[in-house]
């Protein structure tokens, strides 16, 4: 065996080599950006802003709950997937924090909501056993995976975004699907209890819906749109209107989580991921130039530090 072959054989896999590459991006959200960036709707735009407000604290909770078990994972592939997962979620937090600053400038109570969620999650980190914390992450990663899959599949949903916000959400959706098995596989390895997994999903769902509903109402109030009945009603129907509602139609996928043998891979998104990697980061990808630029910056900083 030659030296180079030997070193290749012993080289540890990385997030990128297991198809979970942390991509450093740098979105800009100028003062002139569209306030109602989804379908010109105050209700739907502030709903997405409500979700964005939850990401920085929420995703760092995900990361911590998985990181707590990193040393127990011996499988090199899963270890690499965990690294990819941590890197991707850190980037999501960073970019959503940048958007959240823009939303704060627009007068939305994003900072307050981010802080409150932080208190709630730190309370959980202090008092809940680690196995419960990772089962919460596994439950919420199921939510993000099925919502992200819907985003990647549905052109009608995609075209309602303003162009710059579409980039942010489609990138996030792609990566949520790239790493959708990671928290689950770590959970299976360190606990694997079906009762804990399924049992956690029920309070997580109740708390998640309550937090989103309360925070969204506050966003609408801050925007002076609480009594904008027509748009609010249309927005509710768009989200929850039976079989056509973008979220209500996800009910079968949501319920699948309660099946004893469930695994996130059962919802096959390989072809979809391939398609979206090309669309965003391929030769003519809409984010390729930005990725190249930000990777270049990172390399330049490293070189400067080394020098």
Binding site for Fe ion (CB under 5 A): 89, 92, 144, 176
- Interacting residues of 11 by C-beta distance below 8 A, sequence separation 6+: none
Q: Which is nearer to Fe ion, 102 or 139 (CB)?
A: 139
- Least distance between Fe ion and beta carbon 228 (Å): 30
Q: In this chain, which residue has its C-beta nearest to Fe ion?
A: 92
> Do 86 and 78 meet the contact criterion of CB atoms below 8 Å apart?
no
Q: Which is nearer to Fe ion, 133 or 144 (CB)?
A: 144
Q: Which is nearer to Fe ion, 46 or 138 (CB)?
A: 138
> Do 70 and 190 meet the contact criterion of CB atoms below 8 Å apart?
no
The total of other beta-carbon atoms located within 10 Å of residue 31's CB is: 7
Where do the H-state alpha helices sit in 26-162? 42-67, 76-105, 110-127, 130-153, 155-159
DSSP structure string for 174-217: HHHHHTTTHHHHHHHHHT--HHHHHHHHHHHHHHHHHHHHHHHH
- Least distance between Fe ion and beta carbon 137 (Å): 8
- Least distance between Fe ion and beta carbon 175 (Å): 6
- Least distance between Fe ion and beta carbon 211 (Å): 17
Q: Which is nearer to Fe ion, 26 or 40 (CB)?
A: 26
Q: Which is nearer to Fe ion, 42 or 264 (CB)?
A: 264
- Give the 3-state DSSP-derived string for 115-126, with helices as H, strands as E and coil as C: HHHHHHHHHHHH
Q: What CA–CA distance (Å, rounded) separates 150 from 305?
A: 42
Q: Which is nearer to Fe ion, 144 or 269 (CB)?
A: 144
User: Which residues are paired to 38 by β-bridges?
Assistant: 161
The total of other beta-carbon atoms located within 10 Å of residue 35's CB is: 16
């Amino acid at each position: 065996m030659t030296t180079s072959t030997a070193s290749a054989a012993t080289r540890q896999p990385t997030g990128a080599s297991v198809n979970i590459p942390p991509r450093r991006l740098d979105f800009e959200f100028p003062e002139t950006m569209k306030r109602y960036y989804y379908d010109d709707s105050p209700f739907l735009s502030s709903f997405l802003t409500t979700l964005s407000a939850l990401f920085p604290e929420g995703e760092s909770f995900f990361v911590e709950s998985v990181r707590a078990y990193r040393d127990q994972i011996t499988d090199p592939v899963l270890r690499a997937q965990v690294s990819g997962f941590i890197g991707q979620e850190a980037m999501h937090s960073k970019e959503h924090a940048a958007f959240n600053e823009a939303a704060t400038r627009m007068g939305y109570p994003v900072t307050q909501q981010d802080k409150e969620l932080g208190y709630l999650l730190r309370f959980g980190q202090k008092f809940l056993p680690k196995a419960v914390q990772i089962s919460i992450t596994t439950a919420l990663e199921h939510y993000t995976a099925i919502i992200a899959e819907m985003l990647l599949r549905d052109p009608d949903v995609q075209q309602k975004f303003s162009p710059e916000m579409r980039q942010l959400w489609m990138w996030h959706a792609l990566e949520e699907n790239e790493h959708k098995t990671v928290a689950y596989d770590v959970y299976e390895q360190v606990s694997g209890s079906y009762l804990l997994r399924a049992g956690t999903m029920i309070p997580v769902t109740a708390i998640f819906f309550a937090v989103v509903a309360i925070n969204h109402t506050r966003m609408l109030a801050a925007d002076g749109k609480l009594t904008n009945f027509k748009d609010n009603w249309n927005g509710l129907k768009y989200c929850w209107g039976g079989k056509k509602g973008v979220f209500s139609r996800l009910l079968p996928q949501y319920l699948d989580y309660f099946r004893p043998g469930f695994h996130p891979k059962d919802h096959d998104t390989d072809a979809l991921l391939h398609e979206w990697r090309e669309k965003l980061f391929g030769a003519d990808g809409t984010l390729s130039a930005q990725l190249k630029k930000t990777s270049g910056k990172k390399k330049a900083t490293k070189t400067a530090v080394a020098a």
